[in-house]
Homo-oligomer: A and B are copies of this chain.
């Protein structure tokens, strides 16, 4: 089944898809690293700079008021996107910054012997901040294992989440295996022990809707650039009471209520966390990306991506020496599939694909502990998005076969 017809409208929105790479049409399949940006997003940024640029929350003139309204409107758009309220949305640089801020703010709240539970499948950005927190407080990290299909093991989670657990954190979707964590169950286990839950949403947001209320998520972190938005803008969602209970992480203009030489008091949430001039154009660009996703609609996005994952599996499965990591069921993969080809080094394969215009990732995907766990040094990774088409993954499979022949000859 070719779904190129369904996607042709979307592809027009992404100018880069019409470019050539190494004299071949670009096939971009590293969407888990960062997605491309539609004209709608780029134009929203341009329009902001060309018609409304001013600093926010400061000026008393109309232009500044317009800028502030657009920025705060972006916050509301983000809030609605995940069923939160605007005051629960803090703009950060990225998922990484959001996770760091949460971890940092728990330095004053954890003690020796407390436990932080995560999974072995986390991205470095959801490991190292917790390692630091553990070092500073004497808390201990505990890693939930995966079952044989690559799923986060609920049996093991039940062992690891105990009365000592203060924080449970995990990627909603793994950036290596592409699989979805059993979020509802994990959050219930955590809350049963009064632990807070921190969800790394980096790989989830572009693929399906997330309702923080219904899932009862305490903190959610994600990046604009992985969901068709600009670089340099991320989101930290936190439940109102939790955010109010957090101290600001950075200090300066905008987050201040009153300052004397020796003292200062803060604004209310969310502003108390946004010190200095924020990435105004970035927030507006992210809101445009959300509007873009909404315009296409989740149903269309999900059915396109599922069909594409099926096509990807079907094509890769025609290569005998290719191993897919994690689940062997296409429906379990949300835009990401990791594999290796015979005993060939991923780096060599990636170069071969690159010469054919195909951009896919080879390496450790910022997940060394998971690589160790899977006993692999590195993998190849295809990650898809709304503008990819089955003809593209077909070409990947064809070139992979040629490369195997080349390196084995």
Contact = CB atoms under 8 A, between A and B. Distances in A.
Contact of A124 (B52, B54, B253): B253
B42 A59 contact: no
Nearest to A19: B51
B253 A125 contact: yes
A321 to B, nearest CB: 21
A281 B45 CA distance: 11
Contacts of A260: 368-369, 372
Given A53-B37, A276-B94, A22 B62 contact: yes
Given A42-B50, A50-B42, A369 B259 contact: yes
Q: Is the interface of A mostly helix, strand, loop or mixed?
A: mixed
Contacts of A120: 261
Given A61-B361, A124-B256, 15 more contacts: A16-B51, A16-B52, A19-B51, A28-B63, A37-B49, A60-B351, A94-B277, A96-B253, A96-B276, A127-B259, A132-B251, A143-B261, A231-B279, A232-B280, A258-B368
Interface of A: 15-16, 19, 21-22, 26, 28, 30, 33-34, 36-37, 42, 45-46, 49-55, 58-64, 93-97, 99-100, 120, 123-129, 131-132, 141, 143, 223, 225, 230-234, 250-254, 256, 258-264, 275-282, 347, 350-351, 353-354, 358-363, 366, 368-369, 372
